[in-house]
């Protein structure tokens, strides 16, 4: 449709942002194998030299070797060998919580979004206070029930164990009920739950 528009109307029109070009597709990005290798070696070095958690192990040799071969050689026999080694490297990165997108493309946006997605959403302050109050109330109930149970089975005469069977059963059941209530109603981690229960 052809329209005649005066230059004054164009000059008076509000400015409109020009649409940005979309980010280049992954297939359009030229791979800088040296940069990829540097990022992979950085991942391996950090994981190898820092304490992650007790019992954590690192098996990075085969994964790092894949990226080294693209820079230093020897080349892969065929595409199948390349694909198999790439999949092993990708599995390594995934198993160790690393972003293959950062290693391959140097793009930290996947890391940023991944961490944001794994973070708990902002909680309403009143709901948070109710949850904290309920948690501390249950914690106090557990401590009281444990103390009552301990008192019920305490030695009546030093050196002997002569618990009152009726009290032991009553207070033991009450302690178990309170612990069950805590475990089923408050979002907890295993470590936090064990800390409260012991």
The token pair at 24 is: 């280049």
- Residue 89 burial (CB count, 10 A): 21
Q: Looking at 10-14, 145-149, 189-193, which range is the least confident one?
A: 10-14
- Domain-by-domain residue ranges, the chain? 30-118, 125-197
How many whole angstroms separate alpha carbon 35 and alpha carbon 48? 20
Q: What is the pTM of this model?
A: 0.43
Q: Is the pLDDT of residue 194 over 50?
A: yes
Q: Which residue has the tokens 């940023």?
A: 112
Tell which wins on pLDDT, 110 or 80: 80
Tell which wins on pLDDT, 30 or 3: 30
How many whole angstroms separate alpha carbon 52 and alpha carbon 37? 22
Give the model's pLDDT for residue 131: 67
How many whole angstroms separate alpha carbon 101 and alpha carbon 69? 19
* Of 96, 192, 93, nearest in space to 136 by CA: 192
How many whole angstroms separate alpha carbon 112 and alpha carbon 198? 37
Q: Is the pLDDT of residue 125 over 50?
A: yes
Give the model's pLDDT for residue 79: 86
What pLDDT, in 10s, does the model give residues 37-70? Answer: 899 888 888 888 887 777 777 778 888 888 888 8
15: confidence class by pLDDT, cuts 50, 70, 90 = very low
Q: How confident is the model over 20-42, as a mean pLDDT? A: 70
Q: In this structure, are residues 188 and 134 in contact, taking their beta carbons and an 8 Å threshold?
A: no
What pLDDT, in 10s, does the model give residues 138-175? Answer: 777 777 877 776 766 665 555 555 566 666 666 667 77
* Of 191, 198, 192, 178, nearest in space to 138 by CA: 178
How many whole angstroms separate alpha carbon 87 and alpha carbon 101? 14
Q: Is the pLDDT of residue 86 over 50?
A: yes
Q: What is the separation of C-alpha 179 from the centre of its chain, rounded to a whole number of angstroms? A: 27
């Amino acid at each position: 449709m052809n329209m005649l528009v005066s230059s004054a109307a164009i000059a008076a029109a509000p400015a409109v942002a020009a649409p940005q070009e979309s980010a280049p597709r992954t297939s359009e990005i030229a791979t800088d194998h040296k940069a990829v290798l540097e990022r992979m070696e950085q991942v391996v070095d950090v994981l190898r030299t820092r304490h992650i958690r007790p019992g954590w192990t690192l098996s990075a040799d085969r994964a790092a070797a894949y990226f080294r071969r693209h820079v230093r050689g020897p080349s892969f026999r065929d595409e199948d060998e390349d694909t198999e080694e790439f999949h092993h490297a990708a599995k390594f990165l995934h198993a160790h919580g690393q972003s293959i997108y950062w290693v391959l493309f140097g793009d930290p946006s996947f890391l940023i979004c991944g961490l944001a997605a794994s973070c708990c959403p902002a909680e309403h302050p009143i709901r948070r206070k109710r949850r904290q109050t309920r948690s501390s109330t249950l914690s106090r109930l557990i401590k009281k029930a444990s103390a009552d149970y301990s008192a019920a089975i305490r030695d009546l005469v030093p050196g002997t164990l002569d618990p009152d069977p009726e009290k032991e059963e009553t207070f033991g059941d009450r302690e178990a009920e309170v612990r069950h209530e805590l475990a089923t109603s408050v979002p907890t981690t295993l470590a936090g739950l064990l800390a409260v229960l012991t």
